[in-house]
Amino acid sequence: HFDAVIFDLDGVIANTAKFHFLAWRQLAEELGIHLPDEAESRLKGLERMASLELILAESDAHYSETQKQLLADKKNKHYCRLIETLTPMDLLRGAGELLEQLVIRDIPVALASASKNAAAVIERLGIAERFTYIADANRVQNPKPDPEIFLMAAQGLNIAPAACLAIEDAAAGVESINRAGMFSVGVGNQQELGEANKVIGSLNEFSVEDYFKS
Ligand code: B16
Ligand code: MG
């Protein structure tokens, strides 16, 4: 049995990937770059500057580091405007129910999201008070698949990594969890998330009784 749960945000709790994609597409259009639909899956889980590099690779133009920073800031403004429309209705299947069950059982819950907007997102989703600790993406030096953000979350909860169960939708995230020495649950398909200790199709399938003492 485990003592705590650490959640990824995008793709596990809410489909913010769709807003990230729309914001990147808007920026791409402003630069005269066409971003095909299939770019959405390639962007999944990538941190902000890595996502920008992927988009700029579609163009021949050269951008300086300063220009890249301004472009990333611009995308973030588009993204912040888009997430203003988020409501508790945007919680992914099973997410609200699972958080509620964990809180009822007094199981501490942390967030390990690479997004610098994570706090604003969970606030909009109406679940901010469910989290005991939010790992600060601003302080993370090494992006997923490095274990740093999950280790930071465990430390914030004051729980040993081996006693944590963590949930991810991206292969790089599952790798971070495994490298952190935690039990990994992948939400998505077996083929993509085969490295996870357990793969489920959606949080609806997660049974709290199997992993936590009542
Ligand atoms: P921001 P997660 C990640 O969130 C997203 O999956 C990824 O698409 C995004 O680029 C990254 O956060 C950074 O987000 O630009 O808002 O700081 O999956 O780690 O919850
Ligand atoms: Mg994710």
Tokens of 127: 């679940």
113 CA → ligand 1 middle, Å: 7
Burial class of residue 120, CB neighbours in 10 A (0-12, 13-18, 19+) = middle
CA distances from 9 to 68, 187, 210 (A): 25, 12, 22
Q: pTM for this one?
A: 0.93
Confidence at residue 180, expressed as pLDDT on a 0 to 100 scale: 98
Q: What is the pLDDT of residues 168-177, one digit of tens each?
A: 999 999 999 9
Ligand 1 atom with the smallest distance to the CA of 76 is 15
DSSP, res 68:
H
* ipTM score: 0.92
The reply to whether 8 belongs to the active site is yes
Ligand 1 atom with the smallest distance to the CA of 169 is 18
Residue 20 in contact with ligand 1 by CB distance below 6 A: yes
Q: Long-range contacts for 25-34 (Cβ within 8 Å, ≥24 apart)?
A: 26/75, 26/78, 27/55, 27/71, 27/74, 27/75, 27/78, 28/55, 28/58, 30/74, 31/59, 31/61, 31/71, 32/59, 33/58, 33/59, 34/58
Contacts of 169 (CB under 8 A, 6+ apart): 8, 10, 11, 12, 44, 45, 186, 187, 188, 193
Q: What is the pLDDT along the chain (214 residues), one digit of tens a residue?
A: 999 999 999 999 999 999 999 999 999 999 999 999 989 888 888 889 999 999 999 999 999 999 999 999 999 999 999 999 999 999 999 999 999 999 999 999 999 999 999 999 999 999 999 999 999 898 999 999 999 999 999 999 999 999 999 999 999 999 999 999 999 999 999 999 999 999 999 999 999 999 998 7
Q: What is the pLDDT of residues 107-122, one digit of tens each?
A: 999 999 999 999 999 9
Residue 176 in contact with ligand 1 by CB distance below 6 A: no
Residues with CB under 5 A from ligand 2 (ion): 8, 10-11, 169-170
Which residue has a Cα nearest atom 7 of ligand 1?
Answer: 45
Confidence at residue 62, expressed as pLDDT on a 0 to 100 scale: 94
Q: What is the pLDDT of residues 20-31, one digit of tens each?
A: 999 999 999 999
Confidence at residue 214, expressed as pLDDT on a 0 to 100 scale: 73
Ligand 1 atom with the smallest distance to the CA of 75 is 15
